[in-house]
Amino acid sequence: MQRVETCEELRRLLDAYRVLSRTIGLVPTMGALHAGHVSLIKRAMEENEVVVVTDFVNPTQFNNPNDFKTYPRDLFSDAKLVESIGATLFFTPSEQEMYPTPDTRTFSFGNLDKVLEGAHRPGHFNGVAQIVSKLFELVQPTRAYFGEKDFQQLLIIQELVRQLRMVDIKIVPCPIVREADGLAMSSRNQLLSSECRRDAPVIYEAIGSLTREDLLYEPYALIKKNAIAKIESRGSLKVEYLEIVSAFTLNPIYSYVPNGTRVLTAVQAGAVRLIDNVGY
């Protein structure tokens, strides 16, 4: 593994691989790497000859300055982990390197960035689009890997590629990786208090235990009410939203669409905000 800190050096190294017609996999991260990230990196290594892992806490996607300030960072441990896996390049730019001047670009994704996370975190997805488009232009990957835990983000990045006509980039969705008790792996989990960490697995229990019969015959308002009640029965948790939507448009649905139904939720666990989703 080679660690790279500047865009110029990364371009130079990747150009040398491109001359040799090497396939390039990109795994964008915000660091504080865990087993979920490891699964993305390993898949990228299986499917590409060159793998670039990026580690950058992007300021433009945080609508809460305190969230940006407290977001976990451990670049030393991240570097050791990426090296142990065997990725080719580890890109760790500074904020000045990625944003030498303010990025004033605005993106529109129709309904996709207006609902769910978009409604609760204004500007978040515009910041995501800014940094992801920069990385795509810089790396020009063959494939880019994103986890389904951020399901709404995944749909928006697919739309971003379409809008920017980056037809040579394949977006590869990767399954959510969970702890043994079901909690979706997240860099934010390490910030949970002991009480919240104990209670947090109920989120997956509530949204992941539905059956086909539930979705076919139960009123969706009742399903949502019961799931919210189950989560909030743990005193440390407060549901911000819980919705049953189309897996393609994120619009609410009221009847089951096989392999096209998604339950998404955001939950405040003490001072930490957790998201999760399950597809049906």
Q: Cα separations (Å) of 3 from 41, 76, 89, 189, 242?
A: 15, 11, 6, 27, 40
Average pLDDT rounded to a whole number, residues 189-205 = 98
Alpha-helical runs (H) found in the chain: 7-19, 35-47, 65-70, 75-85, 95-98, 117-120, 124-139, 151-163, 194-199, 202-208, 212-217, 220-232
- pLDDT for the residue 257: 96
The percent of residues above 90 in pLDDT, for the chain, comes to 100
Spatial separation of the C-alpha atoms in residues 211 and 72, rounded to whole Å: 36
- pLDDT for the residue 30: 98
Mind listing the pLDDT tens digit for each residue in 44-80?
A: 999 999 999 999 999 999 999 999 999 999 999 999 9
Single pTM value for the model: 0.96
Going by the DSSP 8-state scheme, the letter that residue 235 receives in this structure is T
Q: Cα separations (Å) of 19 from 12, 49, 226?
A: 11, 13, 57
Mind listing the pLDDT tens digit for each residue in 20-35?
A: 999 999 999 999 999 9
Spatial separation of the C-alpha atoms in residues 237 and 250, rounded to whole Å: 24
Strand pairing of 261-269 and 237-246? antiparallel
In this structure, the number of other CB atoms found within 10 A of the CB of residue 217 comes to 9
In this structure, the number of other CB atoms found within 10 A of the CB of residue 120 comes to 14
- pLDDT for the residue 249: 98
* Residues with active-site annotation: 37
- The average confidence (pLDDT) of the chain is 97
- pLDDT for the residue 100: 98
